[in-house]
Copies of this chain bind each other. A is one copy, B any other.
Amino acid sequence: MKKILAIDAGGTKIIYAVINENGEFLTEVKKTFTPKKIDELTNLFKQIISEYENEIHIVSFATAGAVNLNNTRVESSTPNMPLGYNSLDFSLLSKKPVFVENDANCAAWAEYKTGAAIGDKNTIIITLGTGIGGGIIVDGKLLRGKSGRAGEIGSMKINSGRNRICTCSRKDCYESYASGTGLKKTAEEIALNSPSFNTSIYKNKNPEDITTYDIIDGLKSNDEYSKEVFEVWQNDLITGLIGLVNIFDPESIVISGGMGQFINTKLIEDKINSEIVVSPVKIKLAKSGNNAGMIGSAVLAVQKY
């Protein structure tokens, strides 16, 4: 059975472990911070690889950014990674085969092969965190598109009328409504416009200082304003999911990321199934946690090499 050194390279930290082709961990997960300069990062990668190179068959990377169709380099700009990251040829880092894939795609593959979506040949994995990431499985294959960049779910537009500015500086991206950041923006908007704020436990707070966590706490305290904010946020989330379900007719949608713990999957499933024109979908929570990127990259790498 093949052994893969799997490395998940994010803007803040790098985690890595040796995994077998079934996605099982053969070593503990190690963690280090991401250096700020490309030379330091390249050296760090080489150092990690040299530590394991003799005992493994493949090196796999899950990375931020869009990856080329050959799975050898990052092609998009990656603002959270060191400058020059997208000129790094990963295949030169090791004498063993090196495989690179986008982290959201890796996480999707992990859920499909070893997590919540096993057997669901058509499934969409959505990461609801600070932003929105996505990986899409179509008929048992990762949807990659002409250049490897498919699955940019967060950049769908859902509310062309509302003119909300996204962190990407575009208007009305799905991410600007249905992410954690979106919840905070909705909280601010509703504080400025709804009478529910006047009797809220947050009425003395500056609207722009209300956080995602305030709203989640407010729900537990049965605060009407927090409930209104959360419902608007959830409706925006559902709006995008309805579109995706009508387009893909998937067996399931798997929700991962920090916001996943706050949603009622059964309620969302029922609402979606009452509105779609395709056959019913299951809404599930992800199972692979923080290791999803490593697992997915390892299993995908074995498929290629």
Contacts and interface: CB of A to CB of B under 8 A. Distances in A.
A145 B137 CA distance: 10
A248 B278 contact: no
Interface string A121-159: 110000000000000101101011111111111011111
Give the interface centre of A147, A160, A244 by most chain B CB atoms within 10 Å: A160
A132 to B, nearest CB: 11
Interface in A139-194: 139, 141, 143-153, 155-162, 168, 170, 172, 174
A278 B139 contact: no
Contacts of A76: 277
- Chain A binding site: helix, strand, loop or mixed by DSSP? loop
Interface stretch (A21-29, A235-243, A254-262, A294-302): A235-243
Interface residues of A, number: 49
A276 interface: yes
A160 B251 contact: no
B246 A160 contact: no
14 contacts: A122-B150, A136-B247, A139-B141, A145-B248, A145-B278, A147-B278, A147-B279, A151-B249, A152-B276, A155-B243, A157-B242, A159-B160, A160-B239, A247-B247
A250 B145 contact: yes
Contacts of A248: 143, 145, 150
Contact of A149 (B168, B239, B249): B249
A236 B148 contact: no
A21 B38 CA distance: 54
Contacts of A136: 247
Given A145-B249, A146-B250, A161-B162, 20 more contacts: A66-B278, A121-B146, A122-B150, A139-B144, A144-B249, A145-B250, A147-B249, A149-B277, A150-B249, A150-B278, A151-B249, A152-B247, A152-B278, A155-B242, A156-B243, A157-B240, A157-B242, A170-B275, A172-B239, A174-B243
Contact of A160 (B170, B236, B276, B278): B236
A247 B161 contact: no
Nearest to A138: B138
A277 B168 contact: yes
A162 B138 CA distance: 32
A149 B279 contact: yes
Given A146-B121, A146-B279, A170-B275, A152 B246 contact: yes
A194 to B, nearest CB: 14
A159 to B, nearest CB: 5
Interface string A222-246: 0000000000000110011011101
A292 to B, nearest CB: 21
Contacts of A278: 66, 145, 147, 149-150, 152
Give the interface centre of A141, A235, A242, A248 by most chain B CB atoms within 10 Å: A248
